[in-house]
Homo-oligomer: A and B are copies of this chain.
Amino acid sequence: MIYFDNAATTFPKFKEVYEALEYAGVNYAFNAGRGSYKKAKLILDMIEDTRSKVSKLLNSTSDRVVFTSSATEALNNLIYGLIKEGDEVLISPFEHNAVVRTLHNINAKINIIPFNKDLELDEVKFKDLLVIKQPKAIIISHISNVLGYMLPYEKIFSIGKKVNTINILDAAQSLGEYDIDINNIDIVVFAGHKSLYAMFGVAGYLNLTNVSLKTIKVGGTGSDSLNLDMPSIMPYRYEAGTNNSIAIYTLNKAIDVITKLDIKKHKEELTNYLISKLKDIPGIKLYLPKNSLPCGIVSFNYKDYIANDIGSILADDYDICVRTGYHCVPFLNDFLDLNKNKGTIRVSFSYFNTFAEIDKLIDALKGME
């Protein structure tokens, strides 16, 4: 199997992560608890150690790291905790349904940040939009899960701060692999099982500037039980129920591994190679940013074929796994005209992909000519 669906979840994981899963299943499957039995204290220490490792990825501190079960849950809790009906919010055309459907669900006013067809920010229109809408928040991806496009988040957030927007960066496709300049960012969302190479069950956000949030996920905290409100102490105020210590331990060990590697560089080389090869195939339409390199994710179509039909042939005849369709990005179709192909064919890389795998994909596509 050739696996090119790493934007959905990275596969394989590092051997240290598989070992961590197995070890934690036996040794760390307890509820964390201060002032309790040894195992409970051990779990608490391990979780706090992981929190510290996550915080260091963004030069922050442990108390700013809130764990959730998924990036979807993180974005749900953040948006419900911050935005109310009628609030103006700016997002990019590349945002995922974890953001868009959540905003839509509470009837927030969704405004799309203007980009041109070359994926360049239209700064003038963007500034106009900011002045007119005075949005409460800007929520954008660091790297688009469809196009691999790295958004100019520094520029967008610094301009936004002039009207005091709360700036949220969805780094589900990047934290762990790509550096993030936290200047002007209030909150960063991460997904453990994607660019951080952990197992399912751990994700979260860093509330870097301690933005005030309503509590959404509430429940038992193992302390302060008689208080009907969540305890005030950070980050526990935003974590209810049993932490998934097994998944958290896989993240702990994954961070140790990935911080020693230059995964970004390898993905850049793979991306360059894939694009150069795809450009040689007649009938391939690439969706590329004009002035930057996609970051490990490339979307394309082949002639007028339905993207999913190409995906099925690649899967069934070549055992090559790609993702096809609209990739949970509802405004993409307004931005790129994808009706004919019903979405795109998406190739997304991880540390484990090779140039030889790309050659096999290229041969497969050429075989369809």
Contacts and interface: CB of A to CB of B under 8 A. Distances in A.
Interface stretch (A33-41, A85-93, A134-142, A292-300): A33-41
B29 A242 contact: no
A98 interface: yes
Contacts of A104: 218, 228-229
A247 interface: yes
Residue among A35, A193, A228 with max Cβ neighbours from chain B (10 Å):
A228
A67 B342 CA distance: 29
A144 to B, nearest CB: 14
A328 B224 CA distance: 8
Residue among A11, A217, A218, A311 with max Cβ neighbours from chain B (10 Å):
A218
Main DSSP-derived SS at the A contact region = loop
B98 A219 contact: yes
A233 interface: no
Nearest to A314: B37
A35 B312 contact: yes
A200 B247 contact: yes
Interface bin, chain A: 35 or more
Given A39-B321, A227-B330, A97 B29 contact: no
Contact of A11 (B29, B201, B312): B29
Contact of A241 (B21, B31, B70, B218): B70
A210 interface: no
B29 A76 contact: no
> How many copies are assembled?
2
Contacts of A13: 25, 29
Given A225-B326, A312-B35, A333-B226, A70 B242 contact: yes
A240 interface: yes
A98 to B, nearest CB: 4
A219 B78 CA distance: 13
A261 B328 CA distance: 43
A35 B242 contact: no
Contact of A31 (B9, B218, B308): B9
B22 A219 contact: no
Interface string A315-345: 1000111111111111001000000000100
Given A5-B31, A228-B104, A247-B201, A72 B240 contact: yes
Contacts of A223: 325
A200 B245 contact: yes
A220 interface: yes
A98 B245 CA distance: 19
CB-based closest 9 A-B pairs: A72-B241, A220-B328, A69-B69, A98-B219, A225-B326, A72-B219, A37-B315, A37-B321, A201-B201
15 contacts: A5-B40, A18-B25, A21-B21, A25-B199, A29-B193, A35-B308, A97-B219, A97-B228, A101-B230, A101-B240, A193-B242, A200-B244, A225-B330, A226-B326, A226-B333
